[in-house]
Amino acid sequence: MKEPTPRQKEIVNVAIRLIAGKGMPYLTIKHIAEEIGISEPAIYRHFDSKHDILMAVLGHFETVSLRIRDQLQRQNGNGLEQIRRFMFDRYALFSDNPDLAKVLFAEEMFMNDEQLAKKILGIMHQHRDLLFNAIQKGQKEKEIRSDIDADHLFHFIVGSMRLLVNRWSFSGFAFDLKHEGSTLWQAVEIMIKPD
């Protein structure tokens, strides 16, 4: 994947902000150009279409996700610690980029486009593989309960995290996501550790 130019990054960030603030219908080349203060034809020098901008939005998140995945895989730690780091990293990422959280957890916006849906699904599978491997590692090391299938544990962990991030987003970011995420992790850890 080619590194985006500074202007492409700016367009992607504006697109994220517009979608999060006003919804997908408001995302137009005209509104992006107005936000940045350039002409509409200038946008087309960087992207061929609105669809390409949306692919770049998802590509931005995928790049961030892959960087985090690579960091987690390089760090030593047992399976339980890898899961904890992943969750805390997501909370930090979304706390620093609340608009990104709003856009990414509203996947239904991308469902009517096969290419966008496929991209979202690919990102989900990357996350699933990372956490699934950490869960299985933890089960082998007997630090995560093995009486529950790893796939079900994955859904439990990610589902609780997604619900918290959605509640934070719908509340207008009314609470400290990192703090609440830490509290949630304590409960998750108790539930997934063996008795």
At 41-57, the pLDDT tens digits run 999 999 999 999 999 99
CA 70, 71, 75, 78 torsion: positive or negative? Answer: negative
Tokens representing 4?
């985006």
Confidence band, pLDDT 50/70/90 cuts, at residue 109: confident
Is the pLDDT reported for residue 95 higher than 90? yes
Tell me what the pLDDT averaged over the chain comes to.
Answer: 89
Q: Which CATH architecture has domain 50-192?
A: Orthogonal Bundle (1.10)
Tokens representing 147?
């009486």
Is the pLDDT reported for residue 74 higher than 80? no
Q: In angstroms, rounded to a whole number, what is the distance separating the alpha carbons of residues 33 and 139?
A: 51
Confidence band, pLDDT 50/70/90 cuts, at residue 1: low
Full DSSP string of 37-54: TS-HHHHHTT-SSHHHHH
Domain residue extents for the chain = 50-192
Is the pLDDT reported for residue 21 higher than 80? yes
Residues 6+ apart with CB under 8 A from 30: 40
User: What is the predicted pLDDT for the residue at 53?
Assistant: 94
